[in-house]
Amino acid sequence: MNALLETLRQICGAQHVLTHDDPTTDLSAWETDWRQRVFGKALAVVRPANTAEVAAVVKACANSLTAIVPQGGNTGLVAGSVPDASGQQIVLSLQRMNTVRAIDPDNLTMTVDAGCILHNLQEAAEKAGFLFPLSLAAEGSCTIGGNLGTNAGGTQVVRYGNARELCLGLEVVTPLGEIWQGLTGLRKDNTGYDLRHLMIGSEGTLGVITAATIKLYPLPAARLTAWAAVPSMATAVQLLGMAHQQLGAGLTGFEVMGQFALSLTDKHFPNLRVPLYKDTPWCVLLENSDHESESHARHLFENLLEAAMNAGCVTDAVVAENMSQAQALWQIRESITSAQAQEGLNIKHDISIPISQIPAFVEATDAVLLKEIPGVRLVNFGHLGDGNLHYNVQAPQGQDDKVFVREMEDRVSTLVFESVARFKGSISAEHGIGSQKVDKLPRYKDPVALGMMRSIKQALDPQNIMNPGRVIR
């Protein structure tokens, strides 16, 4: 291993190969997952400056049969980007690779390094007069390489799609240390297997994404936000249908939040002043982006809400009067996860269900959990517009949260995932599989699909050095 470390120092510079041999170096930021539940130990954290250095690092590791864990902002929720506890894996951090390489206004694309922070890309696009619509709670620290590696979703999937739909090209270092130059900005390229789609969502198990060409969109003339109280999940789905019909492509966000989830935000962040939630089981947050004018957008929004109230699927609503108010409403939604963490450890589920089946799924799964674990608290919120719920489970009031998670996580997740399967959903909507769900996936994934996935992994990474133990075993 000393020979490998010396090679890596020659490639990236000694200051960018961090090891435990230096007592002044703290590697915990790279060795611990965001939720502070998985603690690994790396042989070294290697921080290349460019694609050529990434290729040389991967080639050196391949020659020595050393496993590589690619890492962006390390904000994942399924323990997919931290090393195991062996002290034998290399963490390949792409955070130094953070350059916007080019913006092509006519082609509506931007080519960027994988280590670019998502928020910085949003700002770069806006400065150039465009919109990059990928938006999620971790956007201040997650990177575009990680977003693509996990096929991230977020709050605007209902209009723009997941990260997969926002990417037109990739540059990837293969497990052999070769560089695939696929940074085309083409929207049509029918020349064989789509390797880009294969790499997106592969969680670093098939190669290292080093750069991407991503789609840009014209900035909307107006973006309006509304907060609505709805009497049931079924009426929330009804409101979604009405919003699609009346707003069309202007509907860019549709989030649902349960009363208990919002009560946690109100409890732990009282300065946010959560509206309407105390008298309704569910609230919905809608965003309307309009390319005509603010008055046109507001007219459409007000007509939608009036029709929804007349139909009985909205009991009360507020429309943000300005961007500051809109941001405050979105901050409430984005603070649910932090509020839940303040309340204590919890069992998280990132699931997707056909939208038409979500009301029945919630009713059935709530009933099963409350029967099996009396007093359990359900933190249910998420992206109803694309069928993605964050169906989280908190310990009963007064119960030790650490003991609850340790003793009940497997049982709770099995109950939830079995219900997901009955409703023909997915056990991972946008967070990925990582190491957290790798042992559960075979129970819920089509066996033929799993066999094909294993064949692809074996063909591209026969030495199993790329993020081993993640997605599939």
Do residues 84 and 50 both lie within one domain? yes
| Whole-number pLDDT of residue 310 | 96
In a domain, 414, yes or no: no
Write the pLDDT tens digit of every residue in 174-224.
Answer: 999 999 999 999 999 999 999 999 999 999 999 999 999 999 999 999 999
Write the pLDDT tens digit of every residue in 38-80.
Answer: 899 999 999 999 999 999 999 999 999 999 999 999 998 888 9
**Domain boundary, last residue among 218, 236, 252:** 218
Do residues 107 and 192 both lie within one domain? yes
Task: Label residue 372 by pLDDT band (50, 70, 90).
Answer: very high
**443 exposure class (CB count in 10 Å sphere: 0-12, 13-18, 19+):** exposed
d(Cα 371, Cα 386) in Å, to the nearest integer? 29
| Cβ–Cβ < 8 Å for 287, 253 | yes
Do residues 104 and 213 both lie within one domain? yes
Do residues 214 and 229 both lie within one domain? no
**DSSP 8-state secondary structure symbol assigned to residue 98:** -
Per-residue tokens: 387: 């069928």
d(Cα 80, Cα 82) in Å, to the nearest integer? 6
Please say if the pLDDT value at position 1 is more than 80. Answer: no
In a domain, 473, yes or no: no
Write the pLDDT tens digit of every residue in 272-286.
Answer: 999 999 999 999 999
Q: Which residues, in sequence order, are bridge partners of residue 305?
A: none
In a domain, 354, yes or no: no
Do residues 278 and 327 both lie within one domain? yes
Do residues 165 and 148 both lie within one domain? yes
Please say if the pLDDT value at position 35 is more than 90. Answer: no
CATH of the domain at 316: 3.30.70.2190
In a domain, 51, yes or no: yes
Q: What's the whole-number mean pLDDT along residues 335-347? A: 92
Query: In a 3-state reduction of DSSP, which class is residue 27?
Result: coil
CATH of the domain at 114: 3.30.465.10
Task: Label residue 348 by pLDDT band (50, 70, 90).
Answer: very high
d(Cα 190, Cα 179) in Å, to the nearest integer? 21
CATH of the domain at 35: 3.30.43.10
Write the pLDDT tens digit of every residue in 71-121.
Answer: 999 998 888 999 999 999 999 999 999 999 999 999 999 999 999 999 999
In a domain, 425, yes or no: no
| Whole-number pLDDT of residue 67 | 98
In a domain, 450, yes or no: no
Do residues 271 and 312 both lie within one domain? yes
| Cβ–Cβ < 8 Å for 423, 391 | no
Do residues 109 and 192 both lie within one domain? yes
Please say if the pLDDT value at position 2 is more than 90. Answer: no
How is 285-342 classified by DSSP, letter by letter?
A: EEEEEESS-HHHHHHHHHHHHHHHHHHTS-SEEEE-SSHHHHHHHHHHHHTHHHHHHH
Do residues 35 and 87 both lie within one domain? yes
| Cβ–Cβ < 8 Å for 263, 332 | no
Do residues 87 and 166 both lie within one domain? no
Q: What's the whole-number mean pLDDT along residues 261-265? A: 97
Strands (E), 368-453: 377-383, 388-394
Q: Which helix (H) or strand (E) element contains residue 172?
A: strand 167-173
Q: What's the whole-number mean pLDDT along residues 401-408? A: 93
In a domain, 276, yes or no: yes
Indicate the number of domains in the chain.
3
**Domain boundary, last residue among 93, 112, 137:** 93
Q: What is the dihedral of CA 183, 189, 192, 195, to 10 degrees?
A: 30
Q: Measuring CA to CA, how many Å separate 55 from each of 17, 60, 122, 341? A: 15, 9, 28, 38
Which residue has better confidence, 253 or 79? Answer: 253
d(Cα 62, Cα 468) in Å, to the nearest integer? 13
**Domain boundary, last residue among 93, 113, 136:** 93
Percent of the chain with pLDDT over 70: 100
Do residues 104 and 214 both lie within one domain? yes
| Whole-number pLDDT of residue 23 | 81
In a domain, 17, yes or no: yes
| Cβ–Cβ < 8 Å for 379, 436 | no
Domain that holds residue 169: 100-218
Q: What's the whole-number mean pLDDT along residues 31-37? A: 86
Do residues 118 and 86 both lie within one domain? no
| Cβ–Cβ < 8 Å for 182, 133 | no
**291 exposure class (CB count in 10 Å sphere: 0-12, 13-18, 19+):** middle
